[in-house]
Amino acid sequence: MNQVEIYKKLPGTNCGDCKQKACMPFAFALLKGEADISECPWVTDKEKGEMASSVKENDWREALIASLKEDIKKVVFHKASGNLGAELRDGKLFIRCFGREVIVGPDGEMKTQSNLTPWMRMLVLFYIRNGGGHGISGKWVMHSELMGGLMKYKAFQRECEEPLRELFDRHFEKVALLLDGYGSVHPAGFATTNAWLLNLFPMLPVVFLHWAEDDEFESKVTIRFDSTADKYFDVEQLIFLIKEIVEDINSHLV
């Protein structure tokens, strides 16, 4: 069940009785595990039961997070910090990711000034567990050029590049401002001036490229990774990572 399907089962009145204050952001929060269907007073008990089973996937996310935390307990933070581009203070890792600072303790618990979705917590834990240590090459490649990426590239285009292209087409200026809000810079040397370079993690720079529609060509979005990206995340985890960014952008446009 996706965000729109969940929204269709809600009253659609934007009554303001939940934390999100409107039905579409509430549907998005449900999908991401940030809200519970019981928070809506206008959904019947039967509908709550049906919707709760539809968004049950949050259970396995929490189970995976718990497993990753156990793996993190085996990581020697003072050795790992340099490989990850993180700072070590008072025995904790300080990692800059998604435009914010995340503090991770030896038990895998996290603190940050803003909310971390289950997916974001998983990605932070994957980043630490995977270990890094390969540096940044400065060579930009497509997702399909990373190890195992060719088999996943269609999914990457469908779930990451195409949704971002649609957001750019509808809300170019707003999307550009949101990307800037992640702390992006505008790199030169690409075939379009619509380029944003973001360090999604300290050792994971990503470039988002957009071409506007013209008389000859449709609009286009491509995403480039440093060639060492697959040493920090596998290609499937990179899909989750970019989807998280795209969904976060979309949530600010609703």
Residues 225, 168 within the same domain: yes
d(CA 210, CA 220): 6
Residues 29, 47 within the same domain: yes
Q: Is the per-residue pLDDT at 5 higher than 80?
A: no
Instruction: Judge contact between 202 and 85, C-beta under 8 A.
Output: yes
Dihedrals φ, ψ of 134, to 5°?
-110, 0
Residues 153, 233 within the same domain: yes
pLDDT-derived band at 55 (thresholds 50, 70, 90) equals low
Domain with 52 in it = 3-56
Quote the longest CA-to-CA distance of the chain: 58
Among 43-47, 156-160, 178-182, whose mean pLDDT is lowest? 43-47
Residues 50, 71 within the same domain: no
Residues 231, 153 within the same domain: yes
Residues 104, 121 within the same domain: yes
pTM of the predicted model as reported, rounded to 2 decimal places: 0.76
Mean per-residue pLDDT, 211-224: 95
d(CA 55, CA 57): 5
Mean per-residue pLDDT, 199-225: 96
d(CA 5, CA 79): 46
Cα atoms in the 13 Å half-sphere on the side-chain side of 124? 28
Evaluate whether residue 38 is within a structural domain: yes
Residues 243, 144 within the same domain: yes
Q: Is the per-residue pLDDT at 228 higher than 80?
A: yes
Instruction: Give the number of domains in the chain.
Output: 3
Residues 113, 150 within the same domain: no
Domain boundary among 56, 75, 97: 56
Domain boundary among 56, 73, 99: 56
Among 108-117, 184-193, 202-211, 231-240, whose mean pLDDT is lowest? 108-117
d(CA 73, CA 131): 13
Cα atoms in the 13 Å half-sphere on the side-chain side of 95? 32
Instruction: Judge contact between 72 and 66, C-beta under 8 A.
Output: no
Residues 188, 236 within the same domain: yes
Tens of pLDDT, residues 142-152: 999 999 999 99
pLDDT-derived band at 155 (thresholds 50, 70, 90) equals very high
- 57-66 contacts at long range (C-beta below 8 A, 24 or more positions apart): 58/33, 58/118, 61/33, 61/118, 61/119, 61/122, 62/118, 64/122, 65/108, 65/118, 65/121, 65/122, 65/125
Evaluate whether residue 190 is within a structural domain: yes
Mean pLDDT score of the chain: 89
